[in-house]
Amino acid sequence: MKFAGLWRWDGRVGRAAYAAVGLVGVAIKHNLDRLIASSFLGYKNSFNYWAPLGKAARLDHLSSFEAKFIATLLLVSIPFVWVGVATTVKRLRDAGQPVWLVVLFFFPFVNVLFFLILCLLPPRESSPESEGAPWPGPHGFDRFIPHTQLGSAALAIAVTGILGLAFVIMGTMVIGAYGWGLFIALPFCLGVFSVLLYSYHEPRDWWQCIGVALLPVGLVGVALILVALEGVICVLMAAPFALALAALGGSLGYVIQAHHWRPKQTPAMFSILILLVPASFGVERAVDLRP
């Protein structure tokens, strides 16, 4: 596989190439994280990939050095996340699996098992329609989504923005998991979800999908400031990474709808995405993971 091909969404990747990209990427990323941790916090041999700050639970409890450390880790991870998602999408396509399963890439511990399974699944031919969802959704759902471009965009932004704020409140105030699910899984899933709503009735171009994917995350950030759940500095620190992940999720949504995804299959996908985000909070709470 050529280096330029690592960044592309189209095509397929075999088991051996996928395993090689994954193992090399993890090795490079882990050592970069150790170097960053040593530079910021003086960690030598005790850096924990799953919980880099140990007992730090909330952004507003972080010192300035810890805040810069987390921001650096997040920004450095963006190219690795992009390559990981793109390569996983191609491996899923090669294995004949729905590409939306790439959301499992973002869940602690689950992603390790997911990687191992994809390294073992043999190639299998599948139709373009199978990339969207494995089963049809309920009939009649489409009448609640406007057919106009502006109407569907407004609905997608409003629904995902409200869901995003609800998940933030659930994760921080109810479940108490202020971790990777909030920083990574949530913006990515919001990006996918918004694009799938927006393109429910007809295909959209990439720029339209990205715009719709970014706005809900921005609205959630503004809402967090207005309701005083977080300070301006904390939100601004997390914004670049959250927006990048939302764009990545929007790109996945674009890929799905561009492959002639049938509208009636969409609701099944929605239900899975809605359940995955709080599930990630629960995993973090159970294993006490915090960024």
23-82 confidence digits (pLDDT tens): 999 999 888 888 887 887 665 555 555 555 554 445 555 566 667 777 787 778 888 888
Question: Would you say 7 and 86 are in contact if contact means Cβ atoms under 8 Å apart?
Answer: yes
Contact of 168 with 278, CB cutoff 8 Å: no
Q: What is the per-residue pLDDT across 202-237, written as a single tens digit (0 to 9) for each?
A: 888 889 999 999 999 888 888 777 765 556 666 777
Q: What is the rounded distance in angstroms from the CA atom of residue 201 to the CA atom of residue 262?
A: 9
Of 19-23, 151-155, 235-239, which gets the smallest average pLDDT?
235-239
The dihedral built from the CA positions of residue 111, 244, 97 and 137, taken in this order, carries a sign that is positive
**24 exposure class (CB count in 10 Å sphere: 0-12, 13-18, 19+):** exposed
